[in-house]
Amino acid sequence: MSTAVKVEHVFKTFQSGKTQIEALKDISFDVSKGELFGLIGPDGAGKTTLFRILTTLMIANKGNAWVDGLEVMGDYKEIRKRVGYMPGRFSLYQDLTVEENLSFFATLFNTSLEENYDLVKDIYVQIEPFKTRRAGALSGGMKQKLALSCALIHSPNVLFLDEPTTGVDAVSRQEFWELLRKLQLQGITIVVSTPYMDEASLCDRVALMQDGKIMDIDSPKGITGKFKKPLWAMSSADMYKLMHDLRADERIDTCYPFGQHHHITFKDDHQEVNPIENFLIDKGHKGLSIEKIEPTIEDCFMELMNR
């Protein structure tokens, strides 16, 4: 069996007052054993609901799912022994020390820190100097590492991490992804969600989610490879005016601010760039820079959203 997670046509609706919210609409995907799989999408895309179904905490209205070869409904007791889960708002027990938190979660799974020390060693050595400190007094990055250790302590086959990097600074995020890579080398299947598109490229494969649907599933390269239109990055001294002028022009299809540049696609794929440049110079733009670029996951995500 080389499939670690299998999801088939899963639907999930919630009743909120009088309205029905469709959190998941026909979700299907597979994750292979040992894969680092990303669910990329904004808040409200349905990532958390999907995680809860996979960790047996919720039941799908329609469709079915299997984790580590076990059906999420019938075999939920067995699945709970085999998966590690780090929920999005997971904040540990603030009033317990690092060590106590870890021992608690270890005993919850009938194991101990000593038994699985090798597995969490890489992470734990970083927080070990603070082991007598209360979790509430740890920094964001440390808390996140402790939470990961807690989710790993029973040596799970599949690890579900719901937005582990939200609210953590860039350095800690980078270290966190490095840790995930190391875990992957130990054969653990990892399903991770994030609202941050730049993290998508760190996964083997990603599912781009929006409004309870999966818009595309592929490797990051595969996804950006599907972006067929030529993409241009433009900048000038007055970025705000540049955006206005471009959006007002009928040759332009999309113009999105992208940090220091605007990313632009033309309605006609064969549109020459020189006339546009001249048009902008005529409009009085100074320090103009126009460059053809490779699309990012975020460009693709927006393109898929607009379809």
Partner 1 sequence: MKNGLAISVSDLTKRFGDFTAVDAITFDVKKGEIFGFLGANGAGKTTAMRMLCGLSLPTSGKAIVAGFDLYKESEKIKKSIGYMSQKFSLYEDLTIRENNRFYGGIYGLTDRQIKDKTSFMLEHLKLESQADTLVKALPLGWKQKLSFSVSMIHDPQIVFLDEPTGGVDPVTRREFWTMIYEAAHRGTTVFVTTHYMDEAEYCDRVSIMVDGKIEAMDKPAELSKQFNAKGMAEVFVQLARKAKRSDN
Partner 2 sequence: MKQFLYFIRKEFYHLLRDRRTLFILFGMPVTQILIFGFALTNEVKNSRIAILDNSKDEATKTIIHQLEASRYFDIVEYLHSYAELEPTFQEGKIRLAVVFPEQFQASLLHTNAAPIQLIADATDPNVANTLTNYASAIIMDYQSAMKETQDFPYTITTELRMLYNPQLKGSYNFVPGVMAMVLMLVGAMMTSISIVREKELGTMEVILASPIVPINVIIAKMVPYLLLSMVNIASILLLSVFVLDVPINGSLSLLVFECFLFTLTALALGLLISSISDSQQVAMLVSLMGLFLPTIMFSGFMFPVENMPIPLQVLSNLVPAKWFYYIVKDVMIKGTGLETVWKETLILFGMLIFLLTISIKKFKVRLE
Which of 63, 69, 140, 230 forms a contact with partner 1 (CB under 8 A)?
Answer: 140
Q: How far apart are CA 145 and CA 95, in angstroms?
A: 17
Identity of the residue numbered 186: Q
Q: Does 166 bind partner 1 (CB under 8 A)?
A: yes
Q: Copy the structure tokens of residue 185.
A: 């080398």
Instruction: Name the pairing type of β-strands 83-86 and 205-210.
Output: unpaired
**Residue 211 backbone class (left: φ over 0; alpha: ψ -120 to 50; beta: rest):** left
- Residue 256 contact among partner 2, partner 1, none, beta carbon within 5 to 8 Å by kind: partner 1
Nearer to partner 2, 7 or 86 (CB): 86
Interacting residues with partner 1 between 15 and 54 (CB under 8 A): 41-45
Task: Quote the least distance from Cβ 9 to partner 1, whole Å.
Answer: 24
In a 3-state reduction of DSSP, which class is residue 244?
Answer: helix
Q: How far apart are CA 210 and CA 235, in angstroms?
A: 29
Q: Does 137 bind partner 2 (CB under 8 A)?
A: no
Nearer to partner 1, 38 or 141 (CB): 141
Q: Does 66 bind partner 2 (CB under 8 A)?
A: no
Whole-angstrom CA distances from 16 to 63, 83, 98 are 22, 30, 38
Which of 243, 273, 290, 293 forms a contact with partner 1 (CB under 8 A)?
Answer: 243
Beta strands in 33-175 (DSSP E): 36-40, 62-67, 70-71, 83-86, 158-161
Interacting residues with partner 1 between 107 and 136 (CB under 8 A): none
Nearer to partner 2, 21 or 217 (CB): 21
274 by Cβ neighbours in 10 Å (0-12 / 13-18 / 19+) ranks as exposed
Q: Does 11 bind partner 2 (CB under 8 A)?
A: no
Nearer to partner 2, 78 or 298 (CB): 78
Q: Copy the structure tokens of residue 110.
A: 């009938």
Which of 73, 217, 239, 293 forms a contact with partner 1 (CB under 8 A)?
Answer: 239
- CB of 291 closer than 8 Å to CB of 235: no
Q: Does 69 bind partner 1 (CB under 8 A)?
A: no
**Contacts with partner 2, residue ranges (CB under 8 A):** 52, 55-59, 76-77, 80-81, 83, 85-96, 100, 103-105, 107-110, 150-151
**Contacts with partner 1, residue ranges (CB under 8 A):** 41-45, 137-142, 166-172, 174, 195-198, 210, 239-240, 243, 256-260, 298, 301-302, 305-306
